[in-house]
Structure 1
Amino acid sequence: MRPEANIVVLGAGIIGISTALELQKRGFAVLVIDRDPVGIGTSSGNAGGFAFSDIEPLATPGIIRKAPKWLLDPLGPLSIPPRYAFRIAPWMMRFWRASWRDRSAASAVAQAALMAHSRAALERQISDVEGEDLIERQGQLNLYEGAAAFRRSKPLWEAREAHGIPFAHLTSPEAIAEIQPGLDSRFTHAAFSPTWMNTVDPRRWLCRLAHRFEARGGQIMRGEVQTITPISSGIRLIVSEGAVEASRVIISAGAWSHHLARQLGHRIPLETERGYNTTLPAGAFDLRTFLTFGAHGFVVSPINGGIRVGGAVELGGLDLPPNYRRAEMLLTKARSFLPGLKTEGGTQWMGYRPSLPDSLPVIDRAPGLPQVIYAFGHGHLGLTQSAGTAELVADLVMEQTPAINLTPLAATRF
């Protein structure tokens, strides 16, 4: 049996499901295809934060000088496994170019525009799926060890202020403790972002969207795409379950998206940020806001009454086995930073974040193939930008002017 649909969305993660839901709202019959069930992949295991204030790209001026340290410290906040270093070299060259001051600044401007649009789109999405019960609005603390570290962060906060992102600086442990007690006294300075939001559980949030999509007549099919071929009426897919045809296809398959794009003749320089975390049960710590330890590359977030300790970036592709020592290292640091933290009973996890060299996603029609739209490469910001991406993709499908300038997100920019 061949499912009928105007549009097929490849990928049942947060970008794919959000996009399918938005297209459905605009009157299209939509079929989502993924090899895994909803809620299995990276979209279900992230920290749950809608990081609209994070407009700075990973590629910033001077960061490439740290590359030798990445290779020497396999447990550092940003690492490259030595056996993967040669393979990732072309991507690193593009990353180095993206870190030049002119391009890094341009990426931040584009990111800020996408973030502002995504924040407004998320509020519309929350209302549409009656999802306020899965959202927490408790703010976020960026924490610094000493005045010198705090001063070094000044350009970051100046950039956020220029883009209208609200925050308040805290310059004593006592002021910090009023928002989040129980932190080690080494954290003397902080910045509090009061409008920060997070979901109580990214898996539950994704499943809420998927259930609404299906309840409104949408279809989700398990299957692995084997071939994708343009035809006169649109696109023909050979899936493990049979053949599927559609007038349009949206490729939003996360870290696997570039393999599908390559079948269409497009080489997108997508790499994989492998993120690690440990989720601790309820009662592990009295967490009152989302905590970011930027200098150490990890966060502590509330998840279903417990807490999730995770982050860091390991550029290691899809095939290397997980290195759960990274999750253990993050938990050890968290225990030091939160002296009352109970670390027993945790569950470890690793996920694949699809990352492009300039920290921006591709949201664009496929070059020469207007019936295919790319929506992938969001790095660790997929949850954050999912609702905004969905609206932009729907604008492209309907040939409407998108809400923001998509030129910086073009598939051909590399």
Structure 2
Amino acid sequence: MGKAAATKASSQGIMTIAVIGAGIVGVSTALRLQSLGHQVTIYDRKGLAAEASAGNAGAFAFSEIIPLATPGMMRKAPKWLLDPMGPLSIPPRYALQLAPWLLRFWRASWRDRYTASMAAQSALMGLARAALERQISDTDGEFLIQRDGQLQLFEGEKQYQASLPTWEARGQAGIRYELLQNPDEIAEIQPGLSRQFTHAGYTPDWINTVDPKTWCEYLAGQFLARGGRIEVQEVKGLSADRGSVSLDLGSHRVTPDRVVLAAGAWSHQLARGLGDALPLETERGYNTTLPAGAFDLRTHVTFGSHGFVASRINGGVRIGGAVELGGLKLPPNFKRADVLLKKACRFMPELDRTGGTQWMGFRPSMPDSLPVIGASSASDAVIYAFGHGHLGLTQSAATAELVADLVMARPPEISLAALSPQRF
């Protein structure tokens, strides 16, 4: 659309909107804005679901309201440096570069910040659950959804007792759960687990998709069928001046009425060009996907103290998780995926580990475990929607609705103060 046409469309309430990022957050946001009558184009340097949305665990983890930075966690930092295969690791050669982010992470673990972050996360999760159901209904996507619940496992009474405050917090947030206190009760929900797991918490309302890449592609298909556009183009820069915004695509520029920046772990690079220095880091997640028949997995299983999960993907099993704070440039360390798979074989003795495919993805992480959703300091015409960590799929539909509220200049359903780009 030319500039004159765009101006006319805007005056009639229809806007041209560019969404940067074709992952699940970008696609969900584009679909939502399109449903309000706007003309939306998605730009992505690699194409549809090419990064974290391609290979995550496929979980809509609405019960995960506990921030990564918990009180006392920083006392464990030396251990992270000494255990490169641990559930949360920092490659030594990246530690110095990570230091400013870790300082903010430490501050986020203080009791006052931790409590506030958990309250904000709880509110966002409440919206996310309702928004997902609206998205599923709007797109007729129920056939790609698995409603099988989740087991979080504990080894012994001490681990179980330590977890009880987090379960109480979930209950206060309206999350249904059941506590299991012996291996036989666990086996009724998920047989085939090692009896070293003596206790568990079961969240029956936990939801997964059959495959996160397929889900993203399906939503993108709905977007395209309704007249949307997806262009495989790298946005090299953003500029904003006096209420107008433009995208530098290298060979030319485009000037939409609004821009949504939802480029995941790469978002801060474009935000910096608008004067916003946001502390975005990268949780590098690893997994191995085993083919159908590898294990009779009946629910999503979380091995919390070991930092990984087992989820059902296309009838097979995906073993993955852990957090490696290693940025965007270090090469993958697939030994981490190997370690997780070996542990899974011990904990799930009947697991067939043959025929697996390894993957590593970049998960965009803020120090307080909350995403950035709000306008750029340079212009209200640029909306940020990134930094969801390992909860991008979970919070994608909610993020889409909140961004739409901002674009339409109407009050959002929840307070965005804790998600503001200016909070740092």
* Change in 2 beyond 3 A, CA 1:138/1:230: same
The answer as to whether partners of 2:243 and 2:379 remain within 8 angstroms in 1 is no
Question: AA paired with 1:50?
Answer: F
Distance 2:139 2:238 in 1: 32
Give the equivalent residue in structure 2 for 1:410. Answer: 420
User: What residue in structure 2 maps to residue 286 of structure 1?
Assistant: 296
Letter in 2 for 1:249: V
Contact 2:243 2:381 (C-alpha < 8 Å) held by counterparts? no
In structure 2, the residue matched to 1:55 is 65
Q: Which moved more, 1:103-112 or 1:229-238?
A: 229-238
**For 1:216-257, what per-residue CA distance to the aligned partner results, in whole angstroms no more than 9, with x for missing partners?**
000100111112111446211111453211011010000000
Q: How does 1:116-155 map to 2 (within 5 A)?
A: 116-155=126-165
For 1:302 and 1:242, the matched residues in 2 are separated by 44
**What's 1:390 paired with?**
400
> Aligned residue for 2:370?
360
Aligned pair partner of 1:276 in 252, 273, 286? 286
The question of whether the paired residues in 2 share the 8 Å contact of 1:299 and 1:309 is answered with: yes
Q: 2:191 aligns with which of 178, 181, 187?
A: 181
Match of 1:22 in 2: 32
Post-superposition offset of 1:99: 0.2
Please say if 1:251 is aligned against 2:261: yes
Letter in 2 for 1:201: D
Residues of 2 paired with 1:299 and 1:212: CA distance?
30
Aligned counterpart, 2:380: 370
Aligned-partner residue type, residue 156 of structure 1: T
For residues 392 and 250 of structure 2, the distance between their equivalents in structure 1, rounded to whole angstroms, comes to 27
Q: What residue in structure 2 maps to residue 88 of structure 1?
A: 98
1:67-86 deviations in whole A, cap 9, x for unaligned? 00010000000000000000
What is the aligned counterpart of 2:74 among 61, 64, 78?
64
Counterpart position of 2:207: 197
Pick closer, same or farther for the CA change 1:180–1:7 going to 2, 3 Å.
same
Q: In the aligned structure 1, how far is the partner of 2:385 from the partner of 2:50?
A: 20
> SS of 1:412's equivalent?
helix
| Counterpart in the other structure of 2:10 | none
Aligned residue for 2:110?
100
Question: CA offset at residue 261 of structure 1?
Answer: 0.3
The CA distance in 1 between the partners of 2:37 and 2:166, in whole Å, is: 42
1-side partners of 2:259 and 2:48: how far apart? 19
Query: Offset of 1:276 from its aligned partner?
Result: 0.2
What is the TM-score normalised by the length of structure 1? 0.98
Report if the CA contact (8 A) 2:275-2:377 is conserved: no
Q: Is the 8 A contact 2:240 2:378 kept in 1?
A: no
Q: CA deviation at 1:39?
A: 2.3
Say whether the 8 Å CA contact 1:2–1:242 is kept in structure 2.
no
Looking at structure 1, the residues matched to 229 and 278 of structure 2 have their Cα atoms a distance apart, in angstroms, of 28
C-alpha deviation, 1:343, in angstroms: 0.2
CA distance in 1, matches of 2:108, 2:183: 37
Instruction: Provide the rounded CA distance (Å) in 2 between the counterparts of 1:236 and 1:368.
Output: 12
AA at the equivalent of 1:388: A
Q: For residue 176 of structure 2, give the secondary structure of its aligned residue in structure 1.
A: coil
Of the three residues 400, 404, 413, the one matched with 2:410 is 400
Q: What residue is the counterpart of 2:330 in the other structure?
A: 320
Tell me the distance in 2 between the aligned counterparts of 1:241 and 1:283: 49
8 Å CA contact 1:15–1:387 kept in 2: the answer is yes
User: 1:246 aligns to what SS in structure 2?
Assistant: coil
Unaligned segments of structure 2, at least 5 residues: 7-14
Aligned to 1:214: 224
Structure 1 residue 2, shift from structure 2 partner: 7.4
Find out whether 1:345 has 2:355 as its counterpart.
yes
1:165 Cα offset (Å):
0.5
CA distance in 2, matches of 1:352, 1:12: 14
Matched with 1:234 is 244
SS in structure 2 opposite 1:8?
A: strand
CA distance in 1, matches of 2:100, 2:390: 21
The answer (yes or no) to whether the contact 2:243–2:380 under 8 Å persists in 1 is: no
Aligned length: 414
Instruction: Report the AA paired with residue 284 of structure 2.
Output: R
